[in-house]
């Protein structure tokens, strides 16, 4: 049984059925939408569209985590994300998630109006665990093998499901020891982060096993290379594959689906919910 409600600063996130987290990268080099929304007005217009399309969370990132991407300083990241977080928080009724691994960015983003921390490093960077606890915000802990710049250089596992579960269990325990409440924790298996295609498929087939700790599971595979490997499609041609993945994720227990294509994913999840409700009523 997972948490059905998460308090995200001044807003409440209900997870009675799967919800959509929209990706808003304010970076010049993200793999799919880098450079498109790097100024305040274009970011706000895109955020407005995402909310109208049905997103309940907007995930704002100021540093690309694609393989080979260059790291940025904390000041650069703050310059990118803070004005946009402040603007969206003032203008729109939506939960803002900050996609960062840096302690200072977590704290400053919380002050600017962010309601959630989404960390691909699972709060392992210096000061991140303490900073996250001090904000009082919910946190999403993601599994990643290696570091973003080199994570896809021949990743190896003895048992990917076991290793991911063990890692997430350890990070949950660290959060609890720091004073972060269990009802404020979300977990993410990290599709495409230090994993070959076979690892991603194995994890997905066992997605239900990740819900065992009773925490909401976030799934993000939108337009990723694993979709391209399966479909033999370029990034801009991966909508259908991404929708198939999102729909099956929703059916198999994911609580939050992180995507670029909001309206289409919202419709797909509505179908999944309706079919599941009908099957359960039989």
- Active site amino acids: 224, 258
Give strand pairing partners of 219. Answer: 257
Give the whole-angstrom CA distance, residue 22 versus residue 173.
Answer: 28
Give the whole-angstrom CA distance, residue 13 versus residue 175.
Answer: 20
> Which H or E element spans position 187?
strand 185-188
Apex 21 CA angle, 17 and 23, nearest 5 = 165
Give the whole-angstrom CA distance, residue 129 versus residue 159.
Answer: 27
- Exposed, middle or buried, 164 (CB in 10 Å: 0-12/13-18/19+)? buried
Phi, psi values for residue 268, rounded to 5°: -60, -40
């Amino acid at each position: 049984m997972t948490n059905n409600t998460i308090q995200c600063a001044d807003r409440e996130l209900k997870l009675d059925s799967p919800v959509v987290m929209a990706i808003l990268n304010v970076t010049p080099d993200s793999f799919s939408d880098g450079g498109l929304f790097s100024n305040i007005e274009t970011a706000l217009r895109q955020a407005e569209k995402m909310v109208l399309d049905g997103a309940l969370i907007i995930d704002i990132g100021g540093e690309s985590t694609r393989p080979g991407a260059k790291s940025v300083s904390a000041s650069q990241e703050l310059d990118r994300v803070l004005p946009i977080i402040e603007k969206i928080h003032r203008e729109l009724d939506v939960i803002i998630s900050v996609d960062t691994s840096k302690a200072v960015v977590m704290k400053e983003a919380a002050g600017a109006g962010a309601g959630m921390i989404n960390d691909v490093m699972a709060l392992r960077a210096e000061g991140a665990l303490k900073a996250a606890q001090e904000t009082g915000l919910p946190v999403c802990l993601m599994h990643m093998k290696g570091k973003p710049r080199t994570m896809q250089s021949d990743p190896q596992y003895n048992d990917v499901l076991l290793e991911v579960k063990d890692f997430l269990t350890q990070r949950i325990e660290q959060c609890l020891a720091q004073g972060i409440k269990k009802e404020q924790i979300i977990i993410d298996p990290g599709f495409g982060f230090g994993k070959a295609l076979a690892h991603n498929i194995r994890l997905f087939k066992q997605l239900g096993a990740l819900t065992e700790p009773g925490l909401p599971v976030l799934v993000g595979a939108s337009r990723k290379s694993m979709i391209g490997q399966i479909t033999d499609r370029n990034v801009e041609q991966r909508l259908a594959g991404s929708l198939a993945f999102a729909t099956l994720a929703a059916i198999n227990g994911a609580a939050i689906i992180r995507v670029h294509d909001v309206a289409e994913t919202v419709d797909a999840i509505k179908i999944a919910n309706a079919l599941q409700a009908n099957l359960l009523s039989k």
